Amino acid sequence: MSDILDGSKTSFEWRRRKPRLCVLPVGAFEQHSRHLPLCTDNFKVEYFGRFVAGELKAALLPTLNYGTSLEQSGFAGTVTLRAETLMQIVRDIAAEVEAQGFTEMIVLNGHGGNFALGPAVRDINRRDGRLKILLINYYEHYDRGLLDGPKRGLTDIHSGEFETSIMLAIAPEAVGSDRRDIKPRHDWRQSDLNTFAIRYFAPDGAPGYPSLASEEKGRAILASFKRTLVPHIRERLRWLRQDRTYTGKGRRTS
Ligand SMILES: [Zn+2]
């Protein structure tokens, strides 16, 4: 059994170790084309959550297996929260861990569509309470040079070369063989998903190049994450410990 302080440990063990830092992985339950399961983002963010918690000796909260997947609506199996619900869940969890003496929480986001995490986290940080939150989109921290597909635009954010390679490295049994490359209909950007569903750019809901994925590439991507993710977080924890105040001097906090 791993030594990570997670849900497999007792409440007495949590009380004995008194961690100050906790990690909340946030995933999504949404379609991932023909070859990846609905819980792909949960597999991945759980993996990175466990890694980060282990490295930083943090408590690991259970992965939130639902996120906001509004842009994926209408694909069988996809279940989305409303933005307000996700924000409320983050607020409730933050209040709980703060009341137990945690001073820092890393919200580790595993799904690009979880746009509601940003405003929820800012709102909590602006209160300047005892708990500070660091929002980390894990997928921003790897070497994009490892990918062979098109480098321009958002051709590989969902079920493509990147995501399929990671899944081949961490959960190969969950990856199917029907991997179809789909060139997106336009050169689009993430903010377009405020107006157009992902279906508009790729009718199957998966713009990208999964045929380029491999287990070897997945391992290289994981290694690149492991090199950069924890130093990035440690640096920000240091910044936080220098100055925990979010608001300006003239502002009364509440
Ligand atoms: Zn995904």
For the segment 101-119, the average pLDDT, to the nearest whole number, is 97
Q: What class has domain 18-242?
A: alpha beta
Banded model confidence at residue 153, pLDDT cuts 50, 70, 90: low
- Check: CB of residue 73 under 8 Å from CB of residue 29: no
Between 205 and 225, the more confident residue is 225
Q: Where are the domains of the chain?
A: 18-242
pLDDT, position 143:
85
For the segment 86-97, the average pLDDT, to the nearest whole number, is 98
Interval between CA 206 and ligand 1 midpoint (Å): 10
Interval between CA 111 and ligand 1 midpoint (Å): 6
Interval between CA 42 and ligand 1 midpoint (Å): 8
Cα dihedral: 8, 12, 17, 21 (round 10): 60
Q: In the numeric block, which tokens belong to residue 33?
A: 């084309």
**CA dist list (Å): 209 to 32, 64, 178, 191:** 13, 28, 12, 21
Interval between CA 8 and ligand 1 midpoint (Å): 26
pLDDT, position 254:
56
For the segment 99-104, the average pLDDT, to the nearest whole number, is 97
